[in-house]
Chains A and B, each alone.
Chain A
Amino acid sequence: MKFWNPTYECMSREEMTRVQTERLINTVKKIYHNVPFYRDKMQKKGIEPGDIKSIDDLKNLPFTYKQDLRDTYPYGLFAVPLSEIVRIHASSGTTGRQTVVGYTRRDLDTWSEVMARTLTSAGGSKESFIQVAYGYGLFTGGLGTHYGAERIGASVIPISGGNTKRQLQIMKDFGTTLLACTPSYALYLAEEMEEAGIKKEDLKLKSGVFGAEPWSTNMRNEIEERLGIMAIDIYGLSEIIGPGVATECPCKCGLHIQEDHFIPEIIDPVTEEVLPPGTKGELVFSTVTKEGLPLIRYRTRDISSLNYEVCECGRTLVRMSKVTGRSDDMLIIRGVNVFPSQIESVLLEIGETAPHYLLIVDRIENLDSLEVWVEMTPNLFSDEVKRIEDIERKIRKEIESTLGINAKVKLVEPKSIERSEGKAKRVIDKRKL
Chain B
Amino acid sequence: MLVKQISVFLENKSGRLAEVTKILGENEINISALSIADTTDFGILRLIVNNPEKAEAALKDNGFTVSCTSVIAIGVSDQPGGLSVALDILDKESIGIEYMYAFVGRPGDEAYVILRVEEPDRAIEVLTKKDIKVLSSSAVYEL
Interface residues of A (CB under 8 A from B): 376-378, 381-385, 388-389, 410-416
Measured CB to CB, the closest approach of chain A to B73, in angstroms, equals 15
Asked if B65 is at the interface (CB within 8 A of a chain A CB), the reply is: yes
Q: Determine whether the beta carbon of B39 is less than 8 Å from that of A413.
A: no
21 A-B residue pairs with Cβ-Cβ distance under 8 Å, sorted by A, are: A376-B9, A377-B65, A378-B67, A381-B9, A381-B67, A382-B67, A383-B5, A383-B44, A383-B116, A384-B37, A384-B98, A384-B99, A384-B116, A385-B44, A389-B39, A410-B42, A412-B42, A413-B9, A413-B10, A413-B63, A414-B64
Q: Known A-B contacts: A383-B44, A388-B42, A413-B11. Give 15 more (CB < 8 A).
A: A376-B9, A378-B65, A381-B65, A381-B66, A382-B67, A383-B46, A384-B116, A388-B9, A389-B39, A410-B41, A413-B10, A414-B63, A414-B64, A414-B65, A416-B11
Q: Which residues of A contact B50 (CB under 8 A)?
A: none
B: interface residue count bin: 20 to 34
- Whether the Cβ atoms of B65 and A385 lie closer than 8 Å is no
Q: Which residues of A contact B42 (CB under 8 A)?
A: 388, 410-412
Distance in Å: Cβ of A356 to nearest Cβ of chain B: 12
Instruction: Give 1 or 0 for each of B60-83: 1 = CB within 8 Å of chain A CB.
Output: 000111110100000000000000
CB neighbours (8 Å) of B44 from chain A are 383-385, 388
Q: Name the distance in Å between B41's Cβ and chain A's nearest Cβ.
A: 5
What chain A residues lie within 8 Å of B64 (beta carbons)?
413-414
- Whether A383 and B41, one on each chain, are in contact in the complex, defined by CB atoms closer than 8 angstroms, is no
B residues 113-141 in Cβ contact with A at 8 Å: 116
CB of A411, distance to nearest CB on chain B (Å): 6
B41: nearest chain-A partner, CB-CB: A410
When distances are taken between beta carbons in the complex, the residues of chain A under 8 Å from B10 are 413
Q: B65, A383: Cβ atoms under 8 Å?
A: no
Q: How far is the CA of A381 from the CA of B45 in the complex (A)?
A: 12
Provide the residues of chain B in CB contact with A413, threshold 8 Å: 9-11, 16, 63-65
Q: Whole-angstrom distance from the CB of B114 to the nearest CB of chain A?
A: 11
Chain B residues with CB below 8 A from A376, complex form:
9, 65
Complex Cα spacing A306 to B35, Å: 63
Q: Which residues of A contact B65 (CB under 8 A)?
A: 376-378, 381, 413-414
For A378, A413, A416, which residue has the most chain B Cβ atoms within 10 angstroms? A413
User: How far apart are A360's CB and chain B's nearest CB, in angstroms?
Assistant: 13
Rounded to whole angstroms, the CA-CA distance of A416 and B19 in the bound complex is 14
Question: Most chain-B CB neighbours within 10 Å: which of A381, A382, A416?
Answer: A381
A385→B46 CA distance, assembly (Å): 11
> CB-CB < 8 A to B66: which residues of A?
378, 381
The smallest C-beta distance from A180 to any residue of chain B, in angstroms, reads: 37
**Interface residue ranges of B30-69 to A (CB < 8 Å):** 37, 39, 41-42, 44, 46, 63-67, 69
Q: Closest approach, in angstroms, between the C-beta of A370 and any C-beta of chain B?
A: 15
The 10 closest A-B pairs by CB, nearest first: A383-B7, A376-B65, A383-B69, A385-B37, A381-B65, A376-B9, A413-B11, A415-B63, A410-B41, A381-B67
With both beta carbons as reference points, the residue of chain B lying nearest to A380 in the complex is identified as B65
Which residues of A are found within 8 Å of B11, using beta-carbon distances?
412-413, 416
State the CA gap A378–B46 with chains docked (Å): 15
Kindly state the separation between the CA atoms of A416 and B69 in the bound complex, as whole angstroms: 25
On chain A, the residues within 8 Å of B67 by CB distance are 378, 381-383
| A388→B65 CA distance, assembly (Å) | 13
With both chains docked as a complex, state the minimum distance between the C-beta of A410 and any C-beta of chain B, in angstroms.
Answer: 5
Q: Which residues of B contact A384 (CB under 8 A)?
A: 37, 44, 98-99, 116
Name the A residues within 8 Å of B41 (CB-CB): 410-411
With the chains together, A383 CA to B10 CA distance in Å? Answer: 11
Determine how close the nearest CB of chain A comes to the CB of B72; give it in whole angstroms: 14
> Nearest Cβ distance between residue A381 and chain B, in whole angstroms?
5
Question: In the complex, A382→B46 CA distance in Å?
Answer: 11
List chain A residues, Cβ under 8 A from B98.
Answer: 384
Q: With A376-B9, A413-B10 in contact, do A385 and B39 touch (Cβ < 8 Å)?
A: yes
**Closest chain A residue to B71 by CB distance?**
A383
A382 to B116, CA, bound (A): 13
Which residues of chain B in 7-32 are interfacial with respect to chain A, using CB atoms and an 8 Å cutoff?
A: 7, 9-11, 16
Least distance between A85 CB and chain B CB atoms (Å): 47
